[in-house]
Structure 1
Amino acid sequence: MEKVLRTKWYGETVKTLQINGKSERTRHCYARAVRMLIQYFGKEPDQITEDELRDYFLYRKNDCNWSSNTMKICYCGIRFFYAHVIRREWHIFKILKSQKEKRLPCVLSRKEVYAVLSYIHTLHNFTYLATVYACGLRLQEGLHLEVSDI
C-alpha cells in the first residue's frame, strides 16, 4: 500500500515541479520531503490534517534535530506539494519560518596562517595572499586588488 501511495503522489509532485520550472536539485529535494512525509504517516497525504502536519514539523525539528536549512527545504517542499498538487491553503504555511543559523567565522591562529602560506611557492601569490589576509579583505575586495592600491 505504501509503495502505491508513494508512487502516485511522488509522481504527481515531480510532474508539477517540472511544469513549474523548478531546477533538478529543487525537484529532488522537494519530492524527497513529500516522500518522507508520506512514509512518516503511512496514509494518503490528502487525509493528513493541519494539526498532524504541525506535529510532523515539530517532530523533525525537535526529535530529529534537523538544521534550519534542512527544515526550510522540508517546509518549502511540503508547502509546494499542498499548494500546487493537493491545492490546499493552510494557515500553518503562512506562519512557518526557518531561522538562519548564525555561525561565527573560523579564525586561524598565526601558526595555522603560516602553515597555509608555507605551501605557496611563488612570491607573487604569497605576497597577494599574505596582503589579503593581513588586511582582512573580503572576497570581492581581494579580487579587485591592484598593485596601485598598496
Structure 2
Amino acid sequence: MTPLLQRMLHDMQIRNLAENTQKSYLLQVSSFARHFCRWPELLSPDEIRTWLVYLREERKLAPASLGPTIGALRFLYRITHKRDWSDEDFPLPRKPVRLPVILSPGEVTTFFNAIPSLKQRTILMIAYALACACRR
C-alpha cells in the first residue's frame, strides 16, 4: 500500500468509517490513479471530471454507482490532502425521476375481483379511493 493510501486509511479509521466504506474508497482511489498512471496528488479537477465521464460513458455505470467514487475522491482531496475544492469539483449526478405505475380501470377491477374476502376487498377499495382523492 502506498504512503498516500495508508494516510487515507488512517484518516478514515480516525473518523470511524465502516470497514466496507474504507475498502471501497481505497479501491476507487487506486482505480482512479491507475487510469491516469499518475499519483492522485498530481491530478486536478479536470482529471476527476474526465474519470467520471469515462465511468459513465465507457464503463456504462449508473448515476447511483458513481456515488462511492465521488465520495472517495472528496475524502481524498478534502480530508487527506486538505484541499479546499468546492462541490462543483466533485459533481454528483442527478437521480432519475421515476413515475409511479398507474393501473388502468380494468386492472383495478381485476385486482379487486381477485380478493376473495368481502371484508378485505372493502378495506382495500376504501384505501384506494382515499389515495385517489388525495392525489387530486
- With the length of structure 2 as denominator, give the TM-score of the two structures: 0.65
The count of corresponding residues between Structure 1 and Structure 2 is 132
- With the length of structure 1 as denominator, give the TM-score of the two structures: 0.60
Q: How does 1:38-57 map to 2 (within 5 A)?
A: 38-57=33-52
Q: Deviations over 1:23-72 (max 9, x none)?
A: 45644543443243234234322232332222112222333333332233
1:38 is matched by which residue type in structure 2? Answer: A
Q: Does 1:94 align with 2:84?
A: no
User: How many angstroms does 1:87 deviate by?
Assistant: 2.4
What is the alpha-carbon distance in structure 1 between the residues aligned to residue 24 and residue 109 of structure 2? 41
What is the alpha-carbon distance in structure 2 between the residues aligned to residue 39 and residue 119 of structure 1? 57
Equivalent position of 2:17 in the other structure: 22
Cα RMSD between the aligned structures? 3.5
User: How many angstroms does 1:78 deviate by?
Assistant: 0.9
Runs of 4+ that moved beyond 6 A: none
**Sequence identity (%):** 23
2:44 is matched by which residue type in structure 1? Answer: T
Equivalent position of 1:145 in the other structure: none
User: How many angstroms does 1:12 deviate by?
Assistant: 4.0
Distance verdict in 2 for CA 1:16–1:116, change over 3 Å: farther
Distance verdict in 2 for CA 1:115–1:85, change over 3 Å: farther
For residue 136 of structure 1, give the secondary structure of its aligned residue in structure 2.
helix
Equivalent position of 1:76 in the other structure: 71
Equivalent position of 2:59 in the other structure: 64
User: How many angstroms does 1:79 deviate by?
Assistant: 0.7
Gapped regions of structure 1 (runs ≥ 5): 142-150
Structure 1 window deviating more from structure 2 (79-88 vs 128-137): it is 128-137
2:81 is matched by which residue type in structure 1? Answer: I
Gapped regions of structure 2 (runs ≥ 5): none
